[in-house]
Amino acid sequence: MTDRNERLKTIRKLLRSNRVSSQDELLRLLDSEGFALTQATLSRDLKALKVGKVSAGKSGYFYTVPSEEERRESEKSYVLDLRRGFVSIDWNDAVVVVKTLTGHGGAVGLAIDNLSFESTIGSVSGDDAIFVALRRGSTGEDFARELLDRVPDLDLELDLPPKPDPTN
């Protein structure tokens, strides 16, 4: 499991077992668990986990993590948006361009952002195309593989080399 996955798992655990009302408080809890990170990284992690704030009445607000069922339902919706609007994909060293049906760029871009692909850092959507910025060290092939892992029946006509075997 990657460090990021371990960190996300720990954030989920901390938010389910504590009433955390601020990112500073969560950063202190994470530090006590051995995770030293910046506020910007924590913000990205909270977005990836779909964390929200709920009212605690007069006590203010606290962070909450969606249930597995809510998360799965949300992911299904994003996958449907990808299936409905996706046309094609191409990339260079730093950017992936996803072409969509006219009018579907926003929904497909939102799906890409909310599905939290490891290989991406964000996207900008237009009416019929999305520019996806790749994370340092990631390639367009990495993104295409992740996309196919999430949406196996997506009509991607790519000649990707075989996935590297992590045991070698």
Which residues fall within 8 angstroms of residue 111, CB to CB, at 6 or more apart? 78, 79, 81, 82
Integer Cα distance of 66 and 92 in angstroms: 35
Coil/strand/helix, residue 123: strand
For residue 168, what pLDDT is reported? 62
DSSP letter for 20, please: -
Class of domain 69-150: alpha beta
DSSP letter assigned to residue 88: E
Return residue ranges of the chain for CATH 3.30.1360.40: 69-150
* Burial zone of 57 (CB within 10 Å; 0-12 exposed, 13-18 middle, 19+ buried): exposed
We find that the CATH architecture of domain 3-64 is Orthogonal Bundle (1.10)
Per-residue pLDDT tens digits for 103-156? 999 999 999 988 888 899 889 999 999 999 998 899 999 999 999 988 988 877
Delimiting residues of CATH 1.10.10.10 domain(s) in the chain = 3-64
